[in-house]
Structure 1
Amino acid sequence: MKVTRPMLAAVAVLTLVGCGSGGDEAAVPQTASGSLEQLAAEVKCAPDIQTDADEIRQAICKNPDGRFILATFATDRGQREWINGAKDYGGHYLVGRKWVAVGDETSTLTSLRETLGGDIEEGTDHSVHTGGH
């Protein structure tokens, strides 16, 4: 079975989607880079590899800050396509160059950001619907 980016995005987001509130803007370090294992070591998690393909490597991680998905990408374009597809499912994303962390709580990503740098992005919130009564 060929694993597609939208399938991986759906699995990651549906595994961890949750709600959270914004955090404060502390000093953000330079955005980290490296392999999935190197990034996981930076945030003190032992990655449970779920996908190990040429274009994406993805793992479930847990550390004292919480549970999250960590994914690395072969190309910037592949990363952006994955994020754009995943955002349709909601969730919170910490985005670096060729990597992303998906967390169930904004506070988890805020803590990860203190080590890894990057930018927090939000997915589409489908719990808010317009129209109807």
Structure 2
Amino acid sequence: MRLTRPRLALACAAAVLALAGCGSGGEKKAAVPETATGSLEQLAAEVKCEPNMQTDADTIRQAICEKGKQKYILATFSTDRGQREWINTAKDYGGFYLVGRKWVAVGHQDVVATLRGRLGGTLEVGTDHSAHKG
């Protein structure tokens, strides 16, 4: 099978999203499950969190989850556009984001990585302002 440029780009993009790269390094990466879907309560149950609801509106539902020393925000959105606008604004404040279809988890890098092992999703990183100290 011949890989056309669009197919090659798609293959590389999928590999990058899986954090496996687009080479043949032979390294085994931790398996990332298929990205979870569902309500805030369903996602919270998947990661064994009792959500402390902070916002319960038509467009966004947001809760804080705590498990031991781990603390993170779990949010669901009514639209993809609303989710992307929220993420783009929030990323200005830094942080680590695990993004699924109409949901996001925000927390420390280690926490988000652990959540990815249960929820799937893609990792995004907010703006690092440490270089802008004056």
Q: CA deviation at 1:127?
A: 1.1
Which consecutive residues of structure 2, in runs of 5 or more, have no partner in the other structure?
1-27
Give the aligned partner of residue 9 of structure 1: none
User: Counterparts in 2 of 1:1-133, with a 5 A limit?
Assistant: 25-64=29-68, 66-103=70-107, 105-129=108-132
Question: Which amino acid in the other structure matches residue 113 of structure 1?
Answer: R
Q: Could you list the runs of 4 or more consecutive aligned residues of structure 1 that deviate by over 4 angstroms after TM superposition?
A: none
Q: CA deviation at 1:25?
A: 4.7
RMSD over aligned Cα, in angstroms?
A: 1.8
Determine the C-alpha separation between the residues in 2 that align with 1:127 and 1:83: 20
Which consecutive residues of structure 1, in runs of 5 or more, have no partner in the other structure?
1-23
Instruction: Give TM-score scaled by structure 2 length.
Output: 0.75
Q: CA deviation at 1:26?
A: 1.6
The higher radius of gyration belongs to: 2
Q: Note if contact 1:65-1:108 (Cα within 8 Å) is conserved in structure 2.
A: no
Give the aligned partner of residue 7 of structure 2: none
CA gap of 1:65–1:31, structure 2 versus 1, over 3 A, is farther
Determine the C-alpha separation between the residues in 1 that align with 2:131 and 2:43: 34
CA gap of 1:27–1:68, structure 2 versus 1, over 3 A, is same
Higher relative contact order (CA 8 A, sep 6+): 1
Identity among equivalent positions (%) equals 70
CA gap of 1:80–1:58, structure 2 versus 1, over 3 A, is same
Q: Which has the higher helix share?
A: 2
Instruction: Give TM-score scaled by structure 1 length.
Output: 0.76
Q: CA deviation at 1:44?
A: 0.3
Determine the C-alpha separation between the residues in 1 that align with 2:33 and 2:69: 17
